[in-house]
């Protein structure tokens, strides 16, 4: 995938060196800038150099920031990591309790309402939801800020006021990023719980005299959560790799916004670096999810045997 991005960037129209050249300057300056960026070499030679650098963790120097790509990504990755982790925890927690509430009475009023609401939330694109929230809570009600992490006068605020200001700025982005995931996790978990409730071993557990609370805690929930872990791994990897749309809408300094800006400015090394890091994060998240799922499956099998 990274190699595909590299080749696609090189063959696409445009020349990133032209943004550093003024028509009033010596025409030979453009050639010197190309040479400094290594853009004067054939694509095949640039690709070989790129592959050799990848194995050493060297993505080159960002054209825009004039710094090593790894250092630039590091500055933006921290925010995305914290932002995504908060959203992920909210998604899992809320969907878990909503699913438990829903399966108390399948096809009841609450269950039907939550099912329809989850479908609506899932169908709404995040950029539509983000703009709608900004319009309602920022433009109309004037309750929450529309963009950024802090107010322009945040440096003059006290410690507690600065924390409050930061919290208010993060409310709308977190809601925008979390609602779609809540809908997905809720639907998967609700359907899994409903399926497990009808399994023969649940009826057998009632026959052994176990209470509904014990059966739910020890058997139903672990068996229902296990298939959800793979989905959670994918979602977490996507979040870590950059909540692109949300970060762009709310002007947040994360990996998603950095990637978009790198593409628009034709910052080849930074685009490739962001793509590579995003891919690694997705792989790691899926690997951790698979390991966790395998451990849970072992415990479930051991519990059934005992």
Chain center to CA of 225: 21
Q: Is 38 left (phi over 0), alpha (psi -120 to 50) or beta?
A: left
pLDDT given at position 162: 83
* Domain assignments of the chain as residue spans, ordered by start: 59-123+177-305
* Dist. CA 234–CA 240, nearest whole Å: 10
pLDDT, tens only, 51-101:
777 777 777 788 788 888 888 988 888 888 888 889 889 999 999 899 888
pTM of this structure: 0.80
Q: Which of 4-8, 139-143, 160-164 has the highest mean pLDDT?
A: 139-143
pLDDT, tens only, 249-295:
898 888 888 888 888 888 878 888 888 888 888 888 888 888 887 77
CB 256 within 8 A of CB 278: no
At 113, is the pLDDT very low, low, confident or very high (cuts 50, 70, 90)? very high
pLDDT, tens only, 1-30:
667 777 776 666 666 666 655 555 565 666
In the structure encoding, which two tokens stand for residue 148, read together? 């950024």
pLDDT given at position 137: 92
pLDDT given at position 18: 61
Residue 298 clears pLDDT 80, i.e. is over it? no
In the structure encoding, which two tokens stand for residue 241, read together? 């790799």
* Dist. CA 81–CA 264, nearest whole Å: 23
Which percentage of the chain shows pLDDT scores above 70? 81
CB 293 within 8 A of CB 226: yes
**Residue position matching structure tokens 């009023």:** 109
Mean pLDDT on 221-243:
75
Chain center to CA of 259: 13
Residue 268 CB neighbours (<10 A): 25
Burial 110-123 (b: 16+ CB within 10 A, else e): ebeebbeebeebee
Mean pLDDT on 121-146:
89
The phi, psi pair for 211, rounded to 5°, reads -75, 165
Residue 135 clears pLDDT 90, i.e. is over it? yes
pLDDT given at position 173: 92
**Residue position matching structure tokens 């109309």:** 140
In the structure encoding, which two tokens stand for residue 96, read together? 């878990």
At 125, is the pLDDT very low, low, confident or very high (cuts 50, 70, 90)? confident
- The CATH architecture assigned to 59-123+177-305 reads Orthogonal Bundle (1.10)
């Amino acid at each position: 995938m990274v190699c595909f991005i590299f080749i696609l960037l090189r063959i696409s129209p445009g020349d990133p060196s032209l943004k550093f050249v003024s028509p009033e300057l010596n025409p030979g300056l453009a050639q010197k800038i190309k040479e400094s960026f290594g853009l004067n070499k054939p694509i095949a030679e640039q690709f070989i150099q790129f592959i050799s650098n990848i194995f050493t963790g060297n993505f080159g120097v960002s054209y825009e920031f004039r710094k090593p790509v790894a250092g630039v990504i590091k500055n933006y990755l921290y925010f995305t990591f914290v932002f995504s982790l908060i959203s992920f925890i909210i998604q899992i927690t809320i969907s878990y309790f909503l699913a438990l509430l829903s399966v108390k009475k399948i096809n009841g009023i609450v269950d039907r309402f939550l099912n329809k609401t989850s479908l609506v939330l899932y169908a709404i694109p995040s950029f539509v939801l983000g703009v709608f929230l900004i319009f309602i809570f920022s433009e109309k009600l004037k309750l929450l800020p529309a963009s950024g992490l802090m107010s322009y006068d945040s440096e003059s605020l006290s410690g507690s006021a600065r924390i409050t200001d930061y919290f208010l700025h993060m409310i709308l982005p977190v809601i925008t990023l979390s609602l779609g995931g809540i809908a997905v996790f809720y639907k998967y978990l609700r359907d899994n719980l409903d399926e497990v409730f009808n399994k023969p071993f649940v009826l057998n557990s009632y026959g052994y005299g176990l209470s509904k609370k014990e059966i739910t805690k020890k058997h139903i929930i672990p068996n229902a959560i296990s298939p959800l872990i793979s989905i959670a791994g994918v979602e977490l990897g996507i979040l870590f790799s950059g909540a692109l749309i949300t970060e762009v809408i709310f002007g947040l300094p994360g990996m998603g916004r950095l990637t978009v800006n790198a593409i628009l400015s034709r910052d080849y090394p930074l685009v490739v670096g962001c793509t590579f890091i995003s891919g690694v994060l997705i792989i790691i998240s899926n690997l951790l999810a698979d390991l966790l799922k395998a451990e849970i499956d072992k415990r479930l099998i051991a519990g059934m045997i005992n």
